Amino acid sequence: MDVNATTQTLINVLVIVVIPTLTKAAVDYMRLKIQGTRIEQAGQIVLDAVDQTNQTFADKLRESGDFTKENQKKALEMSVKAALERMNDRTIELLEKEFNGAESWIISKIEAACKANNENKNFFELK
């Protein structure tokens, strides 16, 4: 058997099978790393939006005693809107794909934050 033919066959196997497989694995790994980062960033955006809503809307209503269920819902809507406005299209697309809806994911994060903070102060309660 010719050494050149054997070498050429091995190179073809590497090019056709091994390299694409390794490339796909590397791309999948990087996507996973990027997604985690975007999800973490999205979570921070939601918390920032909740803080903003509390500072500009909810705290004033609590002080005046007007933080009704209706105003609680309005505060939730304001927080969701603020979070969505701060997210870029790629992050929203990721949340849509991975969690079947960006808005529902944001609401679940807001509810979790409210529940965690509700023990420490009179944070808006969502029901």
Query: Of all residues in the chain, what percent carry a pLDDT higher than 90?
Result: 25
pLDDT digits (tens, 9 = 90+) for 50-73: 888 888 888 888 888 888 889 889
Tell me, yes or no, whether 4 lies in a domain. no
Would you state the pLDDT for residue 100? 86
Tell me, yes or no, whether 97 lies in a domain. yes
Tell me, yes or no, whether 8 lies in a domain. no
Which residue has better confidence, 102 or 17?
102
Reported residue count of the chain is 127
pLDDT digits (tens, 9 = 90+) for 22-55: 777 777 777 777 666 888 889 889 999 988 888 8
Counted domains in the chain: 1
Given a contact cutoff of 8 angstroms between Cβ atoms, the answer to whether 95 and 41 are in contact is: no
Q: Which residue range(s) make up the domain with 90?
A: 38-118
Tell me, yes or no, whether 66 lies in a domain. yes
Looking at the predicted structure, is the pLDDT value of residue 123 above 50? no
pLDDT digits (tens, 9 = 90+) for 84-101: 999 999 999 999 988 889
Distances (CA, A) of 66 to 45, 97, 99, 103: 27, 38, 34, 26
**CA 73 to CA 102: how far, in whole Å?**
18
Give the model's confidence band at 118: pLDDT under 50 very low, under 70 low, under 90 confident, else very high: low
